[in-house]
Amino acid sequence: MRATSSHAMLGLVLWLAVSSAGAAPKTDIITLRNGDRLTAELKSLDRGKLVISTDAGGTIELDWDMVAAVVTNQRLQLETYDGKVLLGSLVPDTSETIGKLVIQDGEQSTRVPILDVVRIAPLEDQLLKRFKGEVSAGYSLYRANQQEQFNFDLKMEYRTPQFLGKFGSELTSNSSTAEETSRRDSASLELYHLFNDRWFAGAVTKADRNDELGIKNRLSVGAAGGRFMVQSNSKLWTLVGGVLDTRENDYDNPEGPYHTVEGLFGTQFDWFRYHKPEFDLSTSLLVLPNFTESGRWRATYSVGFKWQIYKDFFWRIKFDGDYDSRPRAAGASKDDYALITSLGSTF
């Protein structure tokens, strides 16, 4: 009995030790522009939103332009709007200047305007904490023709000081009593090395299926690079270009797959706001000219509006589509588009 009690006590002590080690002390000081001071643990800054953790209120999100100063012993990676990356802790500003962050790295200190900083991440974050993303799903039923539409969308991102990985997958199914079920599915994986001055380069893989365009399956693998032309606490504009090796199978051509080489030219613009009401407007266009089949080109496009409804949950309406100037399958449409509404959550 005594041995059992000793083992139980030892287990309790070990559990408390592990729990204490996993929870960082909340000793960071965040000073707001109205003079309020918060003692918390700084989690991240991205897209104009500072995430902190407090003992009393749990996780809190603050508009970055509400913050006047931050002091923390954590070693951080900070990125400014012009692509400059800074490493170090944040120490008190002894000058009388308002709205500056003082970054201490060894004996060197750097002072930058607080609103010039667009991204902050603790360097000691665990692997899983570097992942962020969102998942959403939507369903529509039209009684007149018994048409049903289902959509599922997943996006994930992993970022370190020198690396950016992005994964996306979207499944859309349309069915009705008058027509066969039609599917439009896509998945992509992008792996980039991050360079100075907001440049990036790496590898891209894309997989598609589109019944309306006659595409049974299509796989593209290639290299791409680009630049974050604008990155601020309210806007992000990206340009990208590259080359893809593409193999596709069509429903009417069982002797495939067909092998082609395509160019890749794209742009994406995001405008986000975290004042009430909080929303996110995103547009993207990707054009792929075919270098093997002269005159053929295809494109994908999207316009989406996301509205936060409660904490991590949001409502989205999105219009997106695909275009192929010369589909191989007989009778296939040149374009396919959809208007999608969905509910989702960020993580």
Please write the tens of the pLDDT for every residue from 118-177. Answer: 999 998 766 677 889 999 999 987 665 568 899 999 999 998 888 999 999 999 998 877
Token digits for 250?
Answer: 């069509």
Render pLDDT for 278-313 as a digit per residue (tens, 0 to 9).
Answer: 889 999 999 999 999 999 999 999 999 999 898 889
Domain ranges of the chain: 2-123, 129-346
Render pLDDT for 192-247 as a digit per residue (tens, 0 to 9).
Answer: 999 989 999 999 999 999 998 999 999 999 999 999 999 999 999 999 999 999 99
**Cβ-contact 312, 346 below 8 angstroms:** yes
What is the average pLDDT value for the chain, to the nearest integer? 88
pLDDT at 17: 41
Torsion sign over Cα 334, 339, 343, 345: positive
b/e code 114-124 from CB counts within 10 Å (16+ = b): bbbbbbbbbee
State mean pLDDT over 52-78. 91
pLDDT at 126: 65
Residue % of the chain over a pLDDT of 70: 90
CATH class of 2-123: mainly beta
**Cβ-contact 297, 267 below 8 angstroms:** no
The model scores a pTM over 0.75:
yes
For residue 65, what are the contacts with CB-CB under 8 A and spacing of at least 6?
A: 33, 48, 115, 233
CA distance 133 to 241: 24
**Cβ-contact 212, 173 below 8 angstroms:** no
CA distance 249 to 259: 9
| Per-state percent for the chain, helix, strand, coil, to nearest 5 | 10, 65, 25
Residue 23 has pLDDT above 70, yes or no: no
Give the up-direction half-sphere exposure of residue 23: CA atoms within 13 A in the CB hemisphere: 14
C-alpha distances (whole Å) from 343 to each of 134, 152, 156, 164 are 11, 10, 17, 27
For residue 297, what are the contacts with CB-CB under 8 A and spacing of at least 6?
A: 287, 288, 289, 290, 325
The CATH number of the domain covering residues in 129-346: 2.40.160.40
